[in-house]
Structure 1
Amino acid sequence: MFASTSHSTSDSNSDSTSDSASAPTSAQRSTRHPTGQPPGLPRRLPLATLLLWLLALATSALPMLPQANLTTLVTAFWSYDSSHYASVMAHFSWAPRIAVAILIGCGLGLAGAVTQQVLGNPIASPTTLGVEAGGQFGVTLATLYAPAMLAFSPDLAAIAGGLLAIGLVIALTWRLGFSPVTVILAGLVITFFMGALNMGFLLLQGEWLGNLFIWGAGSLVQNNWSQFLELWPRVLVLGIALVLLMRPLELLQLGSESAHGLGARVDALRLLALFLVVLMSATVVSRVGVVAFVGLAAPVLARLLGARTLRSRLAWSTLLGGGLLLLADTLAQWATTWGNGSLVPTGTTTALIGGPIILLALRGVNNTHHMPGEPSGPASFVPRRRPTGVAAGILLLVLLTTIIAAMGWSPGIEGWRWTPPADWADAWNWRGPRLLAAITAGVALGLAGTIIQRMTGNVMASPEVLGISGGSALVMVAMVLLGAQVGRAGQLAAGTLGAAAALMLLMLLARRHRFAGNQLLLGGVALYVFMDAGLRLVMASGGTVAAQLLNWMYGSTWLVSESEALALAAVMTVLIAVTTLAVRALTLLPLGETPASSLGLNVQRARILLLVLAAVLTAAATVVIGPLSFVGLMAPHLARVMGQQTVGRQLVTAALAGAALLALADYLARVVLYPNQLPAGLLAALVGGLYFLWGLSRHGRR
């Protein structure tokens, strides 16, 4: 069921080949240019960089010009007039903020370019590898359990968390030669997983961590030069160390085997370079929060503007990174002003820049028509077919046991006690609606996940990983931030619109690649970035609205009323009936467009209808359980593992598996930390993240 090592390695080699093609070797350059000189630098690269810097500097200076002239602003970087208030403000707030933005942007741009070179991956960056989420996780743990470490140095906790995250990515993908798509998937899921852990700590220890998560949204606000003076020597030393690796890194453009044949210690070089990248990124995260999408945007822009050699990519990525972060920070300040003083963190604007950049970078990903988790040849793991009645019976037994436990066996003030069935009518008011909502959401995600996996032919696809849940969530986050008051019906309609838009965008992106799963999965990364921007905006806003929204984002079923649960159950009854009509289309589509059409299927109309159905199912679940549960991935897998290979059987079994998984997650979330409660979606995300990582680790095994 999972791809073989040879296939994943070939993917990596093909990307390395593609990268080396875009950055020719010296021998190739000598062939093309008799003088042996490298190709000339495109004019658009320095011109675009100059325009970016001029725009960033002009927009950052514009708000200060009514208070101070240009000479005062320039001299504010090294002196000030104590009798002139505008000069004091410029020297102690405006100038250090600009200096920190430029310093951090340059460092992250350089780190991103090195990361992409090491992994041969045009959308690799500290952000997509989970380093920032790991750094924030390290700071969270240190805040709760080792505050003395933070007092000594906040960098240590962030570096430890960043090393943990990238260590997990390396462990999962080392055997595959850092297959590009698998590396990004591993980084994305580790980001999900550590984000869920961070959110769990926030919900349980909010009184200690509230300000920490406002900081984590990313802010460059300064009130003196101390932070800049602490950061610049570290960024400079790490930057020099990364530049010194330039010559050995150039050998990686030849491919791992060729570089090894020329004497390069490829594995050691990769580890050293990634270690320096973690140090650079974690140092930044510990000071200003997560703003590191600049580490993705700057190298991609350098490539798109014509930087071909490694030297030029490193140099121009560094310059573009400084300009981009300064511009993003300025936009954040302007948005804060336009929003009547409501804080818009720099992390939000950098994430909004990062999303479109990923979409542009997808054009540079060399793709095959085989997907992560799907071998190019016969499957290495095909479960033995089993009767559907046996599989369904097992899942129904698990679901029934969970329902009985949830209604009857729960902790209370006097400890664990059994509620007799005669009293379940009273217990229903407290336990029933959330249980019914969890079951409903589980069925929806099981069906949606199966439809998406069958449509794309990709067993690692799901509403969560593809960003479809994120698209649904993003619309609802926007509604809350805009103050729109709508009920569950309005949320369902808005969520469906967002999910459909996200899924349609993904399909459009993947159309030129014949709907290959790699392109869909990488497009999901881009959609996640947009959702991340919204989350960071919510976290920075604080207040009760933010707390309620964050609870919902991770699936707090205790917010569901009885009428809402019954309404969702009624909607799901209709959707289940509609799904039964899609069995034939899901059976024929994997055969290919021509065979399916010859058998009487209108392929284009079938795809559109299936997109809408998957979007509605995803929205129905997202309204209840939030966008990051991973049940849409696990349920179809469990159905397949239980021997259900045909479409109809897999749909039935996946629906039951989803219901059982989320019902169990809701019950455990209610009782495991009693009297505290965890969101059911958060618990499911933690289990689902581990399941996904286990699935990735099986790549290449036979």
Structure 2
Amino acid sequence: MKGAVLVSLSMVLPALLGLLLLVLGQVPADRLYAALFAPDVSSIGELRVHYSLIPRLAVSLAAGAALGLAGAVLQQVLQNPLASPSTLGISAGAQLALAVATLIAPGLIGWSRDAVALGGGMIAVALVFAFSWRQQFAPFTVVLSGMIVGLLFSALSAMLVLHNERYLAGLFLWGSGVLKQYDWEAASALLPRLAFLLLLTVLLVRPLVLLGLEDGASTLGLNVLAVRTAGLTLAAGLAAVVTARVGVIGFIGLAAPALARGLGADHFKRQLFWSPVLGAALLLITDVAVQLLDTATAISLPTGAVTALLGAPVLLWLLPKLRIINKPVLSSPRTGHYRIGNPALLLALLFVFATAALWLSLSLGRAPDGSWQLVRGEMFEALLSWRFPRATAAFAAGAMLAMAGTILQRFTGNAMASPEILGVSAGAGLGIVAALFLLSAPSYWMLTGAAALGSLFILLLLLGIVLSGRTSPNQILLAGVALSALLSSVFAILMATGDPRMMRLLTWMSGSTHGVTPATAMGAGICAIIIFMLAPLFSRWLDILPLGQDTARELGIGLKLSTLALLGFAALATAAATLITGPLTFVGLMAPHLARQCGLMRALPQMTGAALSGGMMMLFADWLGRMVDFPWAFPAGLVATLITSPFLLWLLSRR
């Protein structure tokens, strides 16, 4: 464990040195002791040290340790290296609660902002538990339920922000994780709560270790359901307490356990020790760097968003050492229980439904006076040039994202895999941000070209990782997560600045088909058809690779070639869809699960069913977004999240 010690010291020592410089910038050296323990009330510098810098140090250490511990517990309970506190939707629930309270009951914010945030986070956890109870908290169900609840709450928050920008713009700052302190209240509240939760975690160490034995845990007499419940509750409590006090700091819970494993913590007990240590060190050095930047340039950045800027490169650097990773569980024991006997009949039925949905989206709409109207004849032809491009683009984008999601989930064997994990969507967003800030008045085509360049840049990085020999699915997913977190942190920082240009990025990220031209729609349709026709070439690989790398080798499948081809194909499909309607990755996550829930278990039928389902999902979402608040429009991506997530949660609860 020398590596863990060295990495921890390499972060803690520079952070303490930077903190000392901050302190000495406020008080002279001979007043240092007094500033720490008995500040002179007439000295502003001593008061800042005693009531701001030192409490902020305590909060950053406690929050980083708590999030690292929560991530380690969650990854052990769910047996998934991509699990983190955000898996349970805690951050999204807290942010939604604050948004609703700000608009409806602002008095609650004045009474206790922490209580509102904590309540929202725990409501999200309660929903995840409710939908996972019937499956006895099976890892697959918990992971998927948490992802759905988190995405649902995030979509509701984004919807409120888009229509109440004046009142909710400040939530961007809180949602990016702010550690500024003005007294000892937050530290005094955090430390005893976290100490109590840490003690409970220590008492659960042995059951959690046995839980990693999977089937062997029950044989040894372990109550798997009780241990999972206790572990999930503890992790949720740790994350909720931190989120309520300092906002959303999501990357620590994922990065700290991954760093611990990469540095040699191959046993869960070691991970349980080093994950909090590395989490605290990572958050501390990030926060000190943010304070030094603020002092030198007067640029104040949210610490939570900047964390990924420092942690993601470290995670990428450690990728070759991430050999010992818990095998992710794709499904619960009952996932494959239902299998349809004749997939062709179901696929034909889905095709008929898709055709009917396309016709309805073109025919049924609102008249200028707001009344509903089913148009025909000349009126239909007149409106076709307005409605057909958006409908075509929405269906094509949904189908391409669904196929990309199916490929990623089958290839990696991970239920959490989705197009956004590759980072290609975030790369497109980076290109758009660059165009917004470098060009005075970028046109639609300029933004599209910039998005294409950003997606290409991230794709080349991922392909370079594959060509370097890191062909493990978990390594590729972690690389994509690190790149996505890195770029998302840039977006969060820019959002927190309040720059009005970033609202255009928010609209694009929400998945709006506004501005789609006939040429763009035609290009989208052609891309979708080409990708659909090429998909059967990969069906054999996707049927065999989930059986394991050893089995694939024995059957003559080249792992590097298949990895390169599947990753490149999924990334290109994602980029093509992202350039049309934004990062509508919820479809890429949910559509494969919908197809599987319908009994489509083989690769090609599942891809086809997912493509039709994803296309219909986006088609209906785009139509509903244009009609529900006529003449205003809701972004299709947010509407797709709102209408699909409750249905999928219901399906999960009925399995």
TM-score normalised by L of structure 2: 0.81
Residues 18-69 of structure 1 deviation map (CA, whole Å, 9 limit, x = unaligned): xxxxxxxxxxxxxxxxxxxxxxxx5555554444322111123335645644
CA distance in 2, matches of 1:595, 1:319: 39
SS, match of residue 544 in structure 1 = coil
Question: C-alpha distance in 1, partners of 2:299/2:596?
Answer: 48
Change (3 A) 1:681 1:137: same
1:164-186, Cα deviation, whole Å (9 max, x unpaired): 22234334555666555664444
State the Cα distance separating 1:290 from its structure 2 match. 0.8
CA deviation digits over 1:101-160, x for unaligned, max 9?
234334434444554565566554423332222222222233233333333322332222
Letter in 2 for 1:344: L
| Alignment equivalent of 1:366, drawn from 326, 329, 335 | 326
Aligned residues: percent identity?
Answer: 35
Asked if 1:582 corresponds to 2:534, the answer is yes
Give SS of 1:677's match.
Answer: coil
Deviation at 1:220, TM superposition (A): 1.4
Q: CA separation in 2, counterparts of 1:381 and 1:261? A: 33
What amino acid sits opposite 2:434 in the alignment? M
After TM superposition, the structure 1 = structure 2 runs for residues 564-575 of structure 1, keeping only pairs within 5 Å, are 565-575=517-527
**Aligned counterpart, 2:156:** 197
- Is this contact kept in 1: 2:408–2:419, CA < 8 A? no
Report the alpha carbon displacement of residue 466 of structure 1 after superposing the two structures with TM: 4.0
Match of 1:615 in 2: 571
Distance 1:439 1:570 in 2: 12
> Who is 1:35 aligned against?
none
> What is the aligned partner in structure 2 of residue 345 from structure 1?
302
- Range moving further from structure 2, 351-360 or 129-138: 351-360
In structure 2, what is the equivalent of residue 220 of structure 1? 179
Letter in 2 for 1:540: A
Instruction: Tell me, in whole angstroms, the C-alpha distance in 2 between the residues paired with 1:120 and 1:601.
Output: 27
Q: What amino acid does structure 1 have at the position aligned with 2:578?
A: T
Alignment partners' CA distance in 1, 2:418 and 2:165: 29
Q: Is the 8 A contact 1:110 1:239 kept in 2?
A: no
Task: Report the AA paired with residue 351 of structure 1.
Answer: A
What's the secondary structure of 1:582's corresponding residue?
Answer: helix
Query: Which residue identity does 2:35 align to in structure 1?
Result: A
**Equivalent AA in structure 2 for residue 386 of structure 1:** L
Q: 1:290 aligns with which of 242, 248, 252?
A: 248
1:470 aligns with 2:429: no
Q: What aligned pairs does 1:68-87 form with structure 2 within 5 A after superposition?
A: 68-73=27-32, 75-81=34-40, 86-87=45-46
Q: Counterparts of 1:264 and 1:322 in 2: how far apart (Å)?
A: 32
Aligned to 1:557: 513
Q: 2:535–2:604: 8 Å Cα contact kept in structure 1? A: yes
The Cα offsets for residues 461-498 of structure 1, whole Å up to 9 and x where unpaired, read as 87536445534444335525753557144135225415
Report the Cα distance in structure 2 between the residues aligned to 1:217 and 1:538, rounded to whole angstroms: 10
Native 8 Å contact 1:396 1:656 kept in 2: no
Deviation of residue 317 (structure 1)?
A: 4.4
Task: Find the counterpart in structure 2 of residue 434 from structure 1.
Answer: 390
Residue 375 of structure 1: how far off its partner (Å): 8.3
Distance 1:608 1:567, change over 3 A: farther
Alignment correspondent of 1:250: 206
**Alpha-carbon shift at residue 327 of structure 1 (Å):** 1.0
Q: Per-residue deviation at 1:206?
A: 2.3
The corresponding residue for 2:363 is 404
In structure 1, the partner of 2:97 is 138
Instruction: Report the counterpart of residue 325 of structure 1 in structure 2.
Output: 283
Match of 1:538 among 484, 494, 499: 494
Whether 2:71 is the aligned partner of 1:100: answer no
Bigger CA drift: 375-384 or 593-602? Answer: 593-602
Deviation at residue 552 of structure 1 after TM alignment: 0.5
Checking the alignment, whether the CA contact within 8 Å between 1:332 and 1:346 is kept in structure 2 is: yes
The residue that corresponds to 2:625 in the other structure is 669
Return the offset for 1:287.
2.7
SS in 1 for 2:345: coil
Q: Deviations over 1:625-671 (max 9, x none)?
A: 22234333555667788898998887776655544332221110112
* Higher mean displacement: 115-124 or 568-577: 115-124
Distance in 2 (alpha carbons) for counterparts of 1:607 and 1:307 = 28
What is the rounded CA distance, in whole Å, between the counterparts of 1:152 and 1:90 in structure 2? 28
2:134 touches 2:653 (CA, 8 Å); kept in 1? no
Residue 53 of structure 1 is matched in structure 2 by 12
Q: Distance in 1 between matches of 2:405 and 2:536?
A: 17
Q: Could you tell me which amino acid in structure 1 is paired with residue 449 of structure 2?
A: G
Q: Deviations over 1:281-326 (max 9, x none)?
A: 3233223211243344445545555567877655554444433222
Letter in 1 for 2:245: R
* Counterpart-to-counterpart distance in 2, 1:682 and 1:367: 32
Higher mean displacement: 44-53 or 661-670: 44-53
- Two-structure CA RMSD over aligned residues (Å): 4.5
- Which residue is 1:126 aligned to? 85
Amino acid in structure 2 at the alignment position of 1:630: F
**482-491 vs 134-143, which moves further:** 482-491
Distance 2:407 2:255 in 1: 33
Return the alpha-carbon distance in structure 2 between the equivalents of residues 422 and 342 of structure 1: 58
Alpha-carbon separation, structure 1, partners of 2:543 and 2:142: 29
State how far apart, in whole Å, the 2-side matches of 1:365 and 1:187 are: 21
Query: By how many angstroms is 1:601 displaced?
Result: 10
8 Å CA contact 2:176–2:305 kept in 1: the answer is: yes
Alpha-carbon spacing, 1:193–1:580, altered in 2? closer, same or farther (3 Å): closer
Cα distance in 2 for residues equivalent to 1:609 and 1:123: 23
Distance 1:75 1:51, change over 3 A: farther
1:345 to partner: Cα distance: 1.3
| Structure 2 CA distance for partners of 1:596 and 1:391, relative to 1, 3 Å | same
Rg larger for: 1
Deviation (angstroms), 1:421 = 4.9
Structure 1 unaligned spans of 5+:
1-41
Task: Name the CA shift for 1:567/1:179 in 2 (closer, same or farther; >3 Å).
Answer: same
> Residues of 1 paired with 2:602 and 2:223: CA distance?
48
Alpha-carbon distance between aligned partners in 1 of 2:173 and 2:645, rounded to the nearest angstrom: 25
Alpha-carbon distance, 1:682 to partner: 0.9
1:444 is matched with 400
Shift of 1:551: 0.8
Q: Do residues 483 (structure 1) and 435 (structure 2) align?
A: no
SS at match of 1:542: coil
| Aligned AA (2:524) | M
1:109–1:317 Cα contact (<8 Å) kept: yes
Q: Is the 8 A contact 2:618 2:640 kept in 1?
A: yes
Q: 1:567 to 1:391 in 2, by over 3 A?
A: same
What are the Cα deviations for residues 224-250 of structure 1, in whole angstroms up to 9, with x where unaligned?
21xx32442443144134314523432
Using the TM superposition, name which of 309-318 and 100-109 deviates more: 309-318
Seen in structure 2, the aligned counterparts of structure 1 residues 524 and 606 have a Cα distance that, compared at 3 Å, is closer
Q: Establish whether residue 625 from structure 1 lines up as the match of residue 562 from structure 2.
A: no
Distance of aligned partners of 1:607 and 1:445 in 2 relative to their CA distance in 1, 3 Å threshold: same
- After TM superposition, the structure 1 = structure 2 runs for residues 638-677 of structure 1, keeping only pairs within 5 Å, are 657-677=613-633
Shift of 1:545: 1.3
Unaligned ranges ≥5, structure 2: none
Distance 1:421 1:55, change over 3 A: farther
Residues of 2 paired with 1:325 and 1:100: CA distance? 10
Tell me the distance in 2 between the aligned counterparts of 1:574 and 1:696.
34
* Worse overlay, 539-548 or 247-256: 247-256
2:639 paired with 1:683: yes
Query: What CA distance in whole angstroms lies between the structure 1 residues aligned with 2:142 and 2:480?
Result: 14
